[in-house]
Amino acid sequence: MRSSGPVIAVLPFKVDAGTQADGIIAHGIVEDLSGELSRFPALEVIAPMSGLAVGDLAETEAAGRLGATHVLRGRLGVDGERLRLSATLVDGHSGAQLWNERMEATGGAVFDLQEELVARVAATLSARLEGDLLRRARAKPTESLTAYELTLRGLAMLRQGTFEADEAARALFARALEIDPHYARAHGGLSLSWFNEWSCQFWDRFEENGRLAFEHAHRALELDDSDAMLHLIIGRILLYRREFERAAWYLDRALALCPNDAELLIQLVLSEVYLGRAETAIAHAQKAMRLNPYHPNHYFAYAAFPHFVRRDFARALETADKAAGVPIIDIPAYSAIACAHTGRWDEARHLFALFNEEFRKRITRGRAPAPGEGCRWVLDVNPFRRQQDIDLVVEGFRMLGDEGVVSAPGATVHAAPAAAADASPAAQVLRRDGHGWRVCFGGEWKTIADLKGVRDILRLLARPGEAFHCLDLAARQEGASTGEAVLDERARHAVKTRIRDLQEELAEAEERNDTGRAETLRAELDRLVEELSRALGLGGRGRRMGDLAERARSAVTWRIRHAIRIIAKAHPSLGRHLANSIRTGTFCSYQPERPCRWEIVE
């Protein structure tokens, strides 16, 4: 079935009078670029080997042979430690040139420069391609749009940030789901629409909007686990519930899925600050602005935040000053605190007055805020993990004359809902007993074995009603690799560098007819290439998280179901209860068939 969205083919890049080694670099860039583009959920990417087969054809003919809507051609120039790259995006039907970019990187190792150029091309190209398709969709009658184009229009509407736009976007997503009920991106659009209202406005519906965003994000991820923005949404909502460990897991996974998406990176900045990782937040902001040099002003607002918590108030103010017109309520409060710390009291008082005016208009709806209410609200909607960050805000409000701030307020308004209480006064018990577990259910005590699936079940029983990603369960017990090697960026670079060195040493050994050394080097080279191929995906990319999720889903489902069967042999009534109450799949949860309270002692 032909895709209704964009399908791009990256054709072989030409080399400007280069050597054979330069041709290898050009081929590596094509593979890396295809891999990076495949991380963006809106794009389908033709395999590089298929592009190689039609590389000599005209763009329109190549697109027709491959079933591509767009073709990307490029040219590489290598001059010592300098790489020059030009890329051109062509409409596969008309042959019209839609985009052209020339980039250059200097001053580092070839692999580092290659990765930098690939990241910049992928991030820029995906945004330009989606923008071109959106312009076409807007020119069509709404009745003729496909599920993809309806969703694309809806996502564009969400950027307006108004209630009316959110409502109109939801109508488009609903129509897309009528065409394709299993279209994950339309479900994701619904999640984003509620997340938009939850995180930016309509504070009187905060809890309900957050719940809807969370539910639709889970629904979308059950259909397609590879959408990084959905992991971001779940992570952000978990942050507001003060579940910092679980939130960090989803946020780190979002970054691993799509590390070169500028919009994702800038959204991650706030989350990293809340987690107490300001240095990482600064790096994300810098990379986002480098990948999207014509970014909107809200990038500056987010980029200022980590400098604030690092007490670099001058840098925070310098960056925040560039965020003119960004309608974020608490920006003036943070800027006022920074001004107070730097002795700019006139500006501090002016900015604090602006914050109080917006707070009264948009939060208390005309009512005069109670003393300390503004500070409590800022800390409630900014879920800081570290006490020193909370203290910084409290101290700032005191400096600005808010006499109602007497201590660091607790963040309780948006805490996770409590589990339902057991209808009976007695709790069911699971207690560690030597190498196994003693369990009491329905007043009957039995002993069960300590299995991996039992440990999964323990986590679910401890948080009834909550959904745990299968990778979260798998990672806690086995590590994210599920038994296979996964190389981080530093290890990846080290392996690639060693392969390059081995190739040079091997060539030298062969020139000298040193067969013994050549065999030794060739064996090590083969071993490293095999290791790299196991740990990396297409063209040197990190192994796809979607593959990990599918393996984790199968493994976790099997071991939970296996554990329930074993439990049922020892304790039949408990086995029946667990079989009826535990849901497995991409997300696993314990939905008790009747009210049930557990006491778990490890």
Quickly tell me which residue has 């070839």 as its tokens: 110
Three-class SS state of 273: helix
| 2 pLDDT more than 50 | no
pLDDT reported for residue 110: 54
pLDDT band at residue 314 under the 50/70/90 scheme: very high
Q: What is the mean pLDDT of residues 89-110?
A: 76
Q: Is the Cβ–Cβ distance between 212 and 233 less than 8 Å?
A: no
pLDDT reported for residue 215: 78
| 545 pLDDT more than 50 | no
Tokens found for residue 223: 């259909």
pLDDT reported for residue 46: 83
pLDDT reported for residue 210: 67
Task: Name which residue leads in pLDDT, 534 or 346.
Answer: 346
pLDDT band at residue 542 under the 50/70/90 scheme: very low
Sign of the torsion angle spanned by Cα atoms 337, 339, 342, 346? negative
| Dihedral angle over CA of 37, 39, 44, 47, nearest 10 | 70
pLDDT reported for residue 417: 36
pLDDT reported for residue 1: 40
| β-strands 598-601, 428-433 pairing | parallel
pTM for this entry? 0.60
Phi and psi at 55, nearest 5°, equal -65, -25
Three-class SS state of 196: helix
Distance, CA of 602 to CA of 589 (rounded, Å) = 20
| Dihedral angle over CA of 230, 235, 237, 242, nearest 10 | 170
Tell me the HSE value of 405 on the side-chain side, using a 13 A CA sphere. Answer: 22
Among residues 25, 30, 189, the alpha carbon closest in space to that of 38 is found at 30
Q: What is the mean pLDDT of residues 35-59?
A: 77
Sequence length of the chain is 602
pLDDT band at residue 272 under the 50/70/90 scheme: very high
Quickly tell me which residue has 């530093």 as its tokens: 490
pLDDT reported for residue 482: 36
Distance, CA of 264 to CA of 126 (rounded, Å) = 13
- Pick from 147-156, 188-197, 537-546: least confident: 537-546
pLDDT reported for residue 134: 53
Cα distance from N-terminal residue to C-terminal residue, the chain: 52
> Mean pLDDT: which of 194-203, 509-518, 521-530 is highest?
509-518
Tokens found for residue 22: 């330069």
Count the Cβ atoms, other than its own, within 10 Å of residue 350. 14
Distance, CA of 454 to CA of 562 (rounded, Å) = 9
- The conformation of residue 536, written as its DSSP 8-state character, comes to B
pLDDT reported for residue 411: 40
pLDDT band at residue 392 under the 50/70/90 scheme: very high
For the stretch 11-25, pLDDT in tens is 888 887 656 666 777
Query: How open is the CA angle 200-201-202, to the nearest 5 degrees?
Result: 150
pLDDT band at residue 259 under the 50/70/90 scheme: confident
* CA-to-CA dists, residue 43 to 5, 31, 127, 129, 260, angstroms: 7, 15, 11, 9, 14
The gap from C-alpha 461 to its chain's centroid, in whole angstroms, comes to 27
| 425 pLDDT more than 50 | no
With b for 16 or more beta-carbon neighbours within 10 A and e for fewer, the 411-420 pattern comes to beebeeeebe
For the stretch 432-462, pLDDT in tens is 888 889 999 988 899 998 888 898 899 899 8
With b for 16 or more beta-carbon neighbours within 10 A and e for fewer, the 116-150 pattern comes to bbbbbbbbbbbbebbebbeeebeeeeeeebbbbbb
Percent of the chain with pLDDT over 90: 17
| 413 pLDDT more than 50 | no
Helices and strands of the chain, counted as H and E runs: 24, 13
| β-strands 44-45, 70-79 pairing | unpaired
Distance, CA of 158 to CA of 274 (rounded, Å) = 25
Task: Name which residue leads in pLDDT, 317 or 125.
Answer: 317
Tokens found for residue 65: 């042979």
Tokens found for residue 412: 């309780």
Distance, CA of 244 to CA of 231 (rounded, Å) = 14
pLDDT reported for residue 305: 95
| 144 pLDDT more than 60 | no
Q: Is the Cβ–Cβ distance between 282 and 265 less than 8 Å?
A: no
Among residues 197, 193, 147, the alpha carbon closest in space to that of 42 is found at 147
- Pick from 37-41, 293-297, 369-373: least confident: 37-41
For the stretch 287-305, pLDDT in tens is 888 777 768 888 999 999 9
Tell me the HSE value of 208 on the side-chain side, using a 13 A CA sphere. Answer: 4
The gap from C-alpha 575 to its chain's centroid, in whole angstroms, comes to 37
| 538 pLDDT more than 50 | no
Tokens found for residue 74: 């490029």
DSSP codes of every residue in 471-517: HHHHHHHH-TTTTS----HHHHHHHHHHHHHHHHHHHHHHHTT-HHH
The gap from C-alpha 384 to its chain's centroid, in whole angstroms, comes to 20
pLDDT reported for residue 486: 46
- The conformation of residue 288, written as its DSSP 8-state character, comes to H
Task: Name which residue leads in pLDDT, 468 or 490.
Answer: 468
Q: What is the mean pLDDT of residues 412-430?
A: 49
- Quickly list H helices, 142-242: 147-158, 163-179, 184-200, 206-223, 228-240
